[in-house]
Chain A
Amino acid sequence: MPEVTPVNEIFWEGTALGELRLRRCRACDHRFRFVSSWCPACWSDDLDWVRASGRGKVSAMTVVHMAPYESMAQRVPYVLALIELDEGLVMMSNVVDVPCEQVVIGMPVEVTFEPRDGLQLPQFRPRAD
Chain B
Amino acid sequence: MVAGVAIAASYEVPPSRFPEVRPHNLYRQVAHAALSEWGLKPGDINGLLAVPSGQGINEIDIYTHEKLGSELGITPAFAETLNAGGASFAIMVGRAASAIRDGLADSILCIGTGKFTKPAEGGAGNMARMISEPDFEIGYGPFIPALYALIASRFMAESGVGPADLARVAVSARQWALRNPRALMHRKGAISVEDVLQSRMISTPLHYLDCSVPCDGGGAILVTTDEKARQLTRQPAYLLGYGEAHSHGSISAAGERLVQTLATRTGADAFKRAGLSPADMDMAMLYDAFSFTPLLLLENLGFAPAGQSAAMVQSGAIDPGGSLPVNTNGGLLSFGHTGESSGMSVIVEGVRQIMAQAGENQLDRARTALVHCYGGMMYEHATLILGRSR
Report yes or no: B143 in contact with A69, Cβ–Cβ below 8 A. Answer: yes
Report yes or no: B203 in contact with A90, Cβ–Cβ below 8 A. Answer: no
Report yes or no: A82 in contact with B136, Cβ–Cβ below 8 A. Answer: no
Give the shortest distance, in Å, between A42 (CB) and chain B (any CB). 17
Give the shortest distance, in Å, between A68 (CB) and chain B (any CB). 3
Closest A residue to B132 by beta carbon equals A92
Closest B residue to A117 by beta carbon equals B139
Report yes or no: B153 in contact with A105, Cβ–Cβ below 8 A. Answer: yes
A72 at the interface (CB under 8 A from B): yes
Closest B residue to A91 by beta carbon equals B252
A residues 50-94 near B (Cβ < 8 Å) are: 59-66, 68-69, 71-72, 75, 78, 80-82, 90-94
A2 at the interface (CB under 8 A from B): yes
For B, the interface residue count at a CB cutoff of 8 angstroms equals 39
Q: How far is the CA of A3 from the CA of B105 in the complex (A)?
A: 46
Q: Mark B231-268, 1 if CB is under 8 A from A, else 0.
A: 00000000000000000000111110010000000000
Q: How far is the CA of A105 from the CA of B251 in the complex (A)?
A: 16
Report yes or no: B255 in contact with A80, Cβ–Cβ below 8 A. Answer: no
Closest A residue to B259 by beta carbon equals A60
Q: Which residues from chain B contact A93 at a C-beta distance below 8 Å?
A: 140
Which single member of B133, B150, B200 contacts A61 (CB below 8 Å)? B150
B residues 142-158 near A (Cβ < 8 Å) are: 142-143, 145-147, 149-154, 157
Which single member of B125, B138, B149 contacts A62 (CB below 8 Å)? B149
B141 at the interface (CB under 8 A from A): yes
Which single member of B134, B140, B150 contacts A60 (CB below 8 Å)? B150
Given A65-B200, A78-B141, check contact A5 B135 (CB 8 Å).
yes
Given A61-B153, A62-B204, A65-B201, check contact A33 B141 (CB 8 Å).
no
Report yes or no: A68 in contact with B251, Cβ–Cβ below 8 A. Answer: no
Given A61-B150, A91-B252, check contact A116 B141 (CB 8 Å).
no
A35 at the interface (CB under 8 A from B): yes
Give the shortest distance, in Å, between B142 (CB) and chain A (any CB). 6
A–B Cβ pairs within 8 angstroms, 24 of them: A1-B138, A2-B136, A5-B135, A33-B136, A35-B133, A60-B151, A60-B153, A60-B154, A61-B150, A62-B146, A62-B153, A62-B205, A63-B204, A64-B202, A68-B143, A75-B141, A78-B141, A80-B150, A80-B203, A81-B150, A82-B251, A92-B137, A92-B140, A105-B153
Residues of A within 8 A of B (CB): 1-3, 5, 8, 33-35, 59-66, 68-69, 71-72, 75, 78, 80-82, 90-94, 105, 116, 121
- Please list the 4 inter-chain residue pairs (A to B) with the smallest Cβ-Cβ separation, ordered nearest first: A68-B143, A62-B149, A68-B124, A69-B125
